[in-house]
């Protein structure tokens, strides 16, 4: 590999790793917001969730930030695909000896789980974001403490009463968990922050992050569906 190509690949890994860690931070915020809908079950106004969602939808800073977030997803995905294609081209027969970053089976299928998660995100984007923005009709409004707002809580609950969507959602989130488990560790390794001293801690923290996010998101549709 030429020096120029090496540093280009290294730059891609740095940027993709930083974008990945940034997106993990967002997922925790998103999970916290989504969990509030469980507090409102039985109340068709879904006041806690709808007020939080309405605040985020009307806050100028958050509205600008959401486009930064979308850009982060796009950059992470494009760089991930580019790096995988580059790896396949340079090592068509694969590694004979696998490094620590490839110890678990899912590390070999990061691109595959990433593509499935991407498909899930597109469907999720259509079902929620485009409906919430009125691009696709189908959302009702509700008055909470005298203020009219979109009833996103009802939209979520109605969708999670569809058993097929719940199964698809759960499977996608399980794959996301495996993707995050390896991705979290790989990000620190790419940034040069994983070594013998901190490696075990980062690996353990990666497991915790993946489990908390995957289980946290999966709990929501299961509680709603079986409630």
Name all domains of the chain by residue range, CATH numbers in brackets.
Answer: 3-90+104-226 (1.20.1300.10)
Residue 85 CA to residue 79 CA, distance in Å, equals 10
Q: Which two tokens stand for residue 149?
A: 């707002």
**Contacts of 99 by beta carbon, 8 Å cutoff, 6+ apart:** none
Task: Give the residue, 104 or 17, on which the prediction is more confident.
Answer: 17
Residue 33 and residue 53 in contact, taking contact as beta carbons nearer than 8 Å: yes
Q: For 197-207, what is each residue's pLDDT tens digit? A: 788 888 899 99
Question: What is the DSSP code (8-state) at residue 92?
Answer: T
H-helix or E-strand containing 11? Answer: helix 3-35
Average pLDDT over residues 138-159: 88
pTM of the full predicted structure? 0.80
Q: Which two tokens stand for residue 106?
A: 């899912």
Q: Mean pLDDT score of the chain, rounded to an integer? A: 82
Question: What is the DSSP code (8-state) at residue 50?
Answer: H
CB atoms within 10 A of CB 178: 19
Q: For 45-64, what is each residue's pLDDT tens digit? A: 999 999 998 888 888 888 88
Counting residues of the chain whose pLDDT is more than 70, the rounded percentage is 86
H-helix or E-strand containing 18? Answer: helix 3-35
Residue 21 CA to residue 186 CA, distance in Å, equals 10
Q: Helices in 59-162 by DSSP H: which ranges? A: 60-90, 110-124, 131-132, 152-159
CB atoms within 10 A of CB 197: 7
3-class DSSP state for residue 31?
A: helix
Q: Which two tokens stand for residue 110?
A: 């990061």
Counting residues of the chain whose pLDDT is more than 90, the rounded percentage is 31
| Residue in the structure block whose two tokens are 């760089």 | 79
Task: Give the residue, 74 or 157, on which the prediction is more confident.
Answer: 157
């Amino acid at each position: 590999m030429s020096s120029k190509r090496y540093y280009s690949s290294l730059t891609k890994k740095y940027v993709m790793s930083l974008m990945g860690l940034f997106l993990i931070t967002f997922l925790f915020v998103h999970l916290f917001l989504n969990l509030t809908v469980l507090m409102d079950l039985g109340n068709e106004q879904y006041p806690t969730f709808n007020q939080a969602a309405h605040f985020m939808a009307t806050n100028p800073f958050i509205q600008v930030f959401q486009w930064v977030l979308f850009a982060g997803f796009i950059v992470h995905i494009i760089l991930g695909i580019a790096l995988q294609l580059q790896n396949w081209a340079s090592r068509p027969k694969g590694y004979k000896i696998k490094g620590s970053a490839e110890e678990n089976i899912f590390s070999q299928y990061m691109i595959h789980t990433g593509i499935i998660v991407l498909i899930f995100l597109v469907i999720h984007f259509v079902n929620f974001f485009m409906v919430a923005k009125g691009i696709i009709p189908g959302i009702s409004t509700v008055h909470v403490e005298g203020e009219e707002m979109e009833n996103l809580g009802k939209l979520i609950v109605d969708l999670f009463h569809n058993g097929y969507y719940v199964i698809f959602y759960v499977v996608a989130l399980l794959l996301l968990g495996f993707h995050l488990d390896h991705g979290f560790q790989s990000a620190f390794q790419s940034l040069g922050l994983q070594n013998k001293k901190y490696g075990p801690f980062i690996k353990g923290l990666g497991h915790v992050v993946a489990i908390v996010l995957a289980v946290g998101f999966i709990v929501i549709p299961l509680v709603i569906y079986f409630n």
